[in-house]
């Protein structure tokens, strides 16, 4: 019996040990993956913090990507890489582990030359090895570069010339850079250095500074709204920084146009061209900043404005020949060529004053600046509904197609509900002081430009009736009426004509009763009884591109 008890005790101990081993093994099998995951997550977070710290302190414009768009090789270790960091200014590409070395070893584009004695009028090429653009040719042997599957060949970050490894000679390394095809658009770093030094010495005779004295120099500034329409602004910023001096490229989500345009005061009078990348609202924002320059006495530095349409409607861009929308189909190089070749035209800008009615009207009247059009009725109602929906869920409105689909939905809804009917009984219209008898209408639209509603030639309609030509530089407004949303849709597909109410230098509209939707250049609001007065404010200097007309435009009507 004592032996049996001892054996039973040893069996219990063995089972207990086995249970402990099982529990320990189970615990390890559960905890080990968790610990490994936590360790990897910690290391990833630590690595990301280090990368962000390098990005923050670096003079390079580093961006991280999970997948490069073309075969890429690290500029430090020369290994093929699928993901890593790239500089948006000079084009360096580097693996994650070599980022710190690349940041210390390679210089980025210099915005301004520093530490130079005297006033230099030239600078050598700035060569970067590897990852040259596809289909680029060597400036020495004229053969294609970048054809070998390795880090090879060189590219100058200023003139964009490329050269084979075997064609690179010492003479090319020290040769003065010509700034290539876009030399008339680029602001050289040595120019900014010279002007900065002259400003410190309070000298203003810039005429002898190179390239100020060059006849065809027309420096460009790029102002991009990264929040416009189809979210292409971020990509365009990088592409323009690669081709130009980064100091010429501004992100309007980080710096306002009024501050950015002060660069014009460093440049020759009446020579600067500004490319606005955004919708019609962004263009209006920039034109308002240019008007502020006039108030400050900087009128001789006012630039001419071109448009790269990234918004939803883009009617002003369409009127000026820059197209109805940009989706990356035209290379950035061609856009710069178009800006160089564009002709200067004037654009009327109008003051819209809205004065509320009431016994004790103590509020100041609302004042807007109009470039495109003013309207009251169904199209303003669609814009009001669209903006209300976008403010609730802005993430849904990242595509031009989705935006237009939402407009279509609200237009269809209004065809059934007719919220703006009997407008002619609620308003009075005066053109140049003469009252106009209104037919049965749901909407009134006052036009300054040829296009309306995302590409419709509203004043022309079907084009089968004689009417005075509409221009955007003649100091006249075109006033039309529409019978409703369905009538607007018919006009857009050229199945109907608008109700042409006339042309005028001054428009006065009195809303006698009720609340109606109104809009100025796509910015809508609900308005109670009021008086709306539209008068001429000023002219804006714009650039017209004759190669992008989307309708049978009369080119002669766009000349000064």
Q: What is the DSSP string of 213-250?
A: T-TT---EEEEE-TTSTTS-HHHHHHHHHHHS-GGGEE
Question: Would you state the pLDDT for residue 103?
Answer: 92
Which one of 108, 136, 155 terminates a domain? 108
Nearest partner of 101 among 166, 146, 54, 31, judged by Cα? 54
Alpha carbons 543 and 316: distance in angstroms, whole number? 11
Q: What is the 8-class DSSP label of residue 145?
A: P
Do you know the residue count of the chain?
Answer: 560
Nearest partner of 154 among 142, 168, 140, judged by Cα? 168
Please report, for the domain that includes residue 66, its CATH number: 3.30.60.20
Q: Are residues 51 and 186 in the same domain?
A: no
Please report, for the domain that includes residue 142, its CATH number: 3.30.60
Written in H, E and C, the secondary structure of 428-473 is EEEECCEEECCCCCCEEEEECCCCECCCECCCCCCCCCCCCCCCCC
State the distance between the two ends of the chain, measured CA to CA, in whole angstroms.
Answer: 121
* Residue linked to tokens 């009736």: 465
Alpha carbons 334 and 376: distance in angstroms, whole number? 39
In a domain, 40, yes or no: no
Q: Are residues 512 and 451 in the same domain?
A: yes
Cis? peptide before 342, omega within 30° of 0 = no
In a domain, 167, yes or no: yes
In a domain, 479, yes or no: yes
Residues 495, 501, 506, CA angle at the centre, nearest 5°?
135
In a domain, 312, yes or no: yes
How do 220-224 and 273-278 pair as beta strands?
parallel
pLDDT tens track for 377-395: 888 887 787 666 665 565 5
Question: Would you state the pLDDT for residue 185?
Answer: 95
pLDDT tens track for 512-544: 888 889 999 888 898 989 999 999 999 999 999
pTM for this prediction: 0.85
Residue range of the domain that includes 442: 349-539
Q: Are residues 297 and 383 in the same domain?
A: no
Listed in sequence order, the residues at least 6 apart from 320 whose beta carbon sits closer than 8 Å to its beta carbon are 306, 307, 345, 347, 542, 543, 544, 545, 558
Count: domains in the chain: 4
Q: Are residues 285 and 365 in the same domain?
A: no
Q: Are residues 446 and 520 in the same domain?
A: yes
Residue 129 CB burial class (10 angstroms; 0-12, 13-18, ≥19): middle
Please report, for the domain that includes residue 454, its CATH number: 2.60.200.40
Using 50, 70 and 90 to split pLDDT, how confident is the model at 3?
low
pLDDT tens track for 41-69: 877 777 778 888 888 999 999 999 989 98
Residue 518 CB burial class (10 angstroms; 0-12, 13-18, ≥19): buried
Using 50, 70 and 90 to split pLDDT, how confident is the model at 119?
low
178 to 3, 170, 239, 428: CA distances (angstroms): 103, 17, 20, 63
Question: Would you state the pLDDT for residue 408?
Answer: 55
pLDDT tens track for 207-229: 778 787 778 899 999 999 988 76
Nearest partner of 106 among 85, 121, 123, judged by Cα? 85
Q: Are residues 79 and 130 in the same domain?
A: no
How do 220-224 and 249-251 pair as beta strands?
parallel
In a domain, 523, yes or no: yes
In a domain, 519, yes or no: yes
Which one of 341, 367, 397 terminates a domain? 341
Please report, for the domain that includes residue 318, its CATH number: 3.40.50.10330
- Arithmetic mean of pLDDT, 404-415: 52
Q: Are residues 392 and 425 in the same domain?
A: yes
Question: Would you state the pLDDT for residue 559?
Answer: 38
Q: Are residues 186 and 171 in the same domain?
A: no
Q: Are residues 449 and 498 in the same domain?
A: yes
Alpha carbons 421 and 16: distance in angstroms, whole number? 88
506 to 269, 328, 448: CA distances (angstroms): 33, 40, 12
Alpha carbons 460 and 469: distance in angstroms, whole number? 8
Q: Are residues 412 and 475 in the same domain?
A: yes
Q: Are 450 and 319 in contact (CB under 8 A)?
A: yes
Which one of 307, 341, 375 terminates a domain? 341
Alpha carbons 542 and 318: distance in angstroms, whole number? 13
- Arithmetic mean of pLDDT, 109-133: 82
Query: Max alpha carbon distance in the chain (Å)?
Result: 126
Q: Are residues 295 and 369 in the same domain?
A: no
| pLDDT tops 70 at residue 154 | yes
In a domain, 544, yes or no: no
- Arithmetic mean of pLDDT, 404-422: 56
Residue 428 CB burial class (10 angstroms; 0-12, 13-18, ≥19): middle
In a domain, 1, yes or no: no
pLDDT tens track for 94-105: 999 999 999 999
Q: Are residues 281 and 408 in the same domain?
A: no
Q: Are 68 and 225 in contact (CB under 8 A)?
A: no
């Amino acid at each position: 019996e004592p032996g049996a008890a001892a054996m039973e005790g040893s069996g219990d101990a063995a089972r207990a040990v086995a249970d402990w081993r099982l529990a320990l093994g189970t615990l390890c099998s559960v905890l080990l993956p968790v610990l490994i995951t936590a360790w990897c997550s910690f290391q990833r977070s630590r690595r990301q913090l280090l990368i962000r710290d390098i990005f923050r302190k670096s003079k390079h414009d580093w961006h991280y990507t999970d997948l490069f768009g073309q075969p890429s090789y690290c500029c430090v270790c020369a290994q093929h890489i699928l993901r890593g960091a790239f500089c948006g200014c000079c084009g360096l590409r580097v693996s994650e582990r070599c980022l710190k070395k690349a940041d210390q070893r390679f210089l980025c584009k210099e915005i301004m030359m520093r530490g130079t004695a005297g006033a230099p009028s030239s600078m050598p090429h700035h060569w970067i090895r590897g990852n040259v653009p596809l289909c680029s040719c060597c400036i020495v042997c004229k053969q294609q570069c970048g054809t070998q599957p390795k880090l090879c060949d060189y590219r100058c970050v200023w003139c964009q010339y490329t050269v084979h490894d075997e064609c690179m000679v010492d003479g090319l390394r020290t040769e003065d850079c010509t700034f290539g095809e876009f030399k008339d658009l680029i602001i050289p770093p040595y120019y900014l250095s010279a002007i900065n030094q002259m400003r410190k010495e309070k000298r203003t005779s810039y005429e002898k500074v190179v390239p100020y004295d060059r006849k065809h120099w027309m420096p460009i500034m790029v102002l991009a709204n990264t929040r416009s329409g189809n979210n292409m602004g971020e990509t365009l910023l990088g592409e323009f920084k690669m081709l130009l001096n980064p100091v010429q490229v501004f992100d309007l989500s980080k710096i306002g146009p009024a501050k950015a345009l002060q660069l014009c005061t460093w440049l020759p009078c009446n020579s600067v061209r500004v490319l606005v990348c955004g919708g019609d609202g962004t263009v209006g924002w920039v034109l308002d900043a240019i008007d502020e320059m006039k108030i400050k006495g900087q009128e001789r530095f006012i630039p001419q404005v071109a448009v790269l349409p990234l918004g939803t409607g883009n009617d002003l861009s369409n009127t000026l020949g820059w197209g109805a929308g940009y989706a990356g189909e035209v290379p950035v190089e061609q856009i710069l060529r178009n800006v160089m070749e564009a002709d200067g035209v004037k654009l009327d800008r109008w003051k819209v004053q809205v004065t509320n009615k009431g016994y004790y009207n103590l509020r100041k009247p609302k004042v807007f600046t109009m470039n495109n059009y003013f309207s009251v009725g169904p199209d303003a109602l669609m814009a009001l509904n669209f903006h209300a929906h976008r403010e609730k869920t802005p993430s849904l409105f990242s595509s031009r197609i989705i935006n237009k689909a939402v407009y279509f939905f609200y237009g269809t809804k209004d065809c059934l509900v007719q919220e703006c009917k009997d407008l002619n009984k609620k308003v009075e219209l005066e053109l140049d002081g003469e009252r106009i008898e209104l037919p049965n209408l749901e909407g009134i639209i006052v036009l300054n430009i040829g296009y309306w509603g995302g590409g419709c030639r509203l004043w022309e309609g079907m084009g089968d009736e004689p009417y005075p030509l509409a221009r955007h530089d003649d100091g006249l407004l075109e006033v039309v009426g529409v019978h409703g949303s369905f009538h607007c849709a018919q006009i857009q597909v050229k199945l109907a004509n608008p109700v042409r109410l006339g042309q005028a230098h001054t428009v006065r509209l009195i809303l006698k009763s009720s609340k109606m939707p109104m809009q100025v250049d796509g910015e809508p609001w609900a308005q109670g009884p009021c008086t709306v007065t539209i008068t001429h404010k000023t002219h804006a200097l714009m650039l017209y591109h004759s190669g992008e007309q989307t309708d049978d435009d009369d080119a002669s009507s766009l000349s000064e």
